[in-house]
Amino acid sequence: MTNQNITAIIFIISYIGIIFTSLPKVKIDRPSSAFFGVVALLAFGIIDFEKAVDFIDYNTIALLLGMMIIISVLELDGFFTLLVDKILTFSKTPFNLLFLITFTTGIASAFLVNDAVVLLFTPIIIKVANELDVDPKPFLLAEIFSSNIGSAMTITGNPQNMLVGLRSGITFGNFLLLMFPISIIGMFFIVYFIRFYYKNIDWKEKFQNRHISTVKASFTRSISIFTLVIILFFTGHLINFNIPMVALIGATLILLFGEVKPSLIIKEVDWVLLVFFASLFIIVHTVEEQGLLSFIIDNYKFKPDYQSIFTIHSLSLFLSQILSNVPYCLLMFPLLKSNNNPILWLSLASSSTLAGNATIIGAMANLIVIESADRYGVKINFKEFFLPGMIITALSYIVSLSVFYFYLLYNIL
């Protein structure tokens, strides 16, 4: 059996585990499936340790690690709870509350990894909804949809954007400027669609007898450092600081000068996610090196035209539900790098992120909210999610395709 055949078998087995996350009589999840693939490639001599190490994209790993440390400190300092509680105190009606939740979640997800945002916001939204005696489901769905749509706005919004942003070389500012219309229009769609979809709620009813506590936390240092990081995301290239370097500098400063013990912060870092990403890099690069994608690469070339943009959106909608958006994006990279055009990279970032709203399994943020809500007795099943999810995805896809058509028409990219 040739190395190419062995690689293909290992790749298929690994991706089956990534897709289904459960196999008969085997305790498996996405990280362990990817890790198995790497070990199998090493054991069969397809690659050696030196090559495996070279295949890892350390810029992405560094960016993820830096942002995880910063987010962990903000969480431990009580920033997220204080932010949500402060904003919710301005809610006078259910519609007002819906609007604030949607835009707070969306904008927060743009500058912090959306998975972390929903993990922290979900229990607070449920608590507030219960205290205000309103159904939490519409607000949780708005949170899910806006976390995905809002995260499309920046390189740091979600893992696939990090990958695309670093691989494409698009600056943080340009990425934000070009993706901003898609996210903002999408969030307005969420607000008015949820209001229309849940007709049983009196969206104009005035809230009474509210008892929302304000969390008091000393986070002056950490929020100051985070503000500096955001500024450097936009300006760091002027002093030769790329985005991963900025994230690492911010993480270092927050460890040295923050008020939370570094040992507590390190415990909060999702090391399993870092191993998952490193493993995916090794598997996909090995598949590419062994020529398993050569037929597709040689016979289909994406071009900076509307047909290619539409094709990328279509592939993202279907394959993100099967592979999940991060593994899907990694597989698309070899196809896009032959024509290293910004509009193609941004199309991949936009479509793979927006496709996450289509089904419960479309994005990790969806699962985080649904599983977290279930612990509080709020159950959102597949049927309840599917129809609004598909409608929001369709609306946001129309916006995304329209924006990119506008960019092509006026030669903006």
Which pairs from 138-141 meet CB under 8 Å and 24+ separation? 138/98, 138/194, 138/197, 138/198, 138/201, 139/97, 139/98, 139/101, 140/369, 140/373, 140/378, 140/380, 141/194, 141/380, 141/385, 141/388, 141/389
What pLDDT, on the 0 to 100 scale, is given for residue 23? 58
pLDDT band (50, 70, 90) for residue 383: confident
Indicate if the pLDDT at residue 124 is higher than 90: no
pLDDT band (50, 70, 90) for residue 208: low
182 lies in a domain?
A: yes
Mean pLDDT on 50-61? 89
Tell me the per-residue pLDDT of 175-200, one tens digit each, with 9 for 90 and over: 999 999 999 999 999 999 999 999 98
Q: Cα 66 to chain center, whole Å?
A: 16
Indicate if the pLDDT at residue 355 is higher than 60: yes
33 lies in a domain?
A: no
84 lies in a domain?
A: yes
Considering its fold, how many domains does the chain have in total?
A: 1
Q: Token pair of 132, please?
A: 């205000």
Q: Token pair of 156, please?
A: 């740091």
pLDDT band (50, 70, 90) for residue 375: confident
262 lies in a domain?
A: yes
Indicate if the pLDDT at residue 29 is higher than 90: no
pLDDT band (50, 70, 90) for residue 296: low
The domain containing residue 317 runs over which residues? Answer: 47-409
Spatial separation of the C-alpha atoms in residues 382 and 377, rounded to whole Å: 16
Indicate if the pLDDT at residue 206 is higher than 90: no
Query: Which range has the top average pLDDT, 12-26, 27-41, 315-329, 378-392?
Result: 378-392
391 lies in a domain?
A: yes
14 lies in a domain?
A: no
Q: How far are the Cα atoms of 10, 258, 339, 372 from residue 335, in angstroms, in the given order?
A: 21, 43, 8, 37
354 lies in a domain?
A: yes
Indicate if the pLDDT at residue 241 is higher than 90: no
Indicate if the pLDDT at residue 267 is higher than 90: no
* Contacting residues for 142 by C-beta, under 8 A, at least 6 apart: 98, 101, 102, 105, 190, 191, 194
32 lies in a domain?
A: no
Q: What is the mean pLDDT of the chain?
A: 86
